[in-house]
Amino acid sequence: MAHESKPLLIDFHSHYYDPAWLPAETPRGYSAAMTRARAMLTDIDAQLDAMARAGVDMKVLSAPLSTLVGAGEQPPVELTARINDRFAALTARHPNQSARHGDDRRIRRRGRGPRGRARRA
């Protein structure tokens, strides 16, 4: 009998913000829910622990720039570079639990079944 593997569960709507990217205090106008969520949004280890408890295998990191700059503002190039660098470091540190948008090779590698074929959920 062929070995059946559990499908890989990937969270594609997952935000992470390095605390250095955010203002010191939650900006006025943010919801109370955002204020409460800030602690989890800035703690990658807590996010990975919560994922493991929920049975999620991997997350695709994202940090929507619209939450880091004001409405209509262009994000500074250096901020975008810092985000990309941080995500590269996090995916290197947690290669089986995280990926960056566009990093489909990592996701496909992680999702290989026992015969080397990508599993589908």
Q: What is the pLDDT of residues 68-79, one digit of tens each?
A: 887 788 888 999
Q: Which residues of 93-103 are buried (b: 16+ CB within 10 A; e: fewer)?
A: ebeebbbbeeb
Residue 74: inside a domain, yes or no? yes
Q: What is the pLDDT of residues 4-39, one digit of tens each?
A: 677 888 898 889 999 888 766 666 666 777 777 888
User: Whole domain around residue 106: which residue ranges?
Assistant: 10-110
Residues with Cβ < 8 Å from 41, sequence gap 6 or more? 15, 16, 17
Residue 117: inside a domain, yes or no? no
Return the pLDDT at 53: 95
Beta bridge partners of 35: none
The domain tally of the chain equals 1
CA dist 73 and 3 (Å) reads 52
Residue 3: inside a domain, yes or no? no
Closest CA to 19 of 57, 63, 71: 63
Residue 1: inside a domain, yes or no? no
Q: What is the pLDDT of residues 72-104, one digit of tens each?
A: 888 889 998 999 999 999 999 998 888 876 665
Residue 103: inside a domain, yes or no? yes
Residue 5: inside a domain, yes or no? no
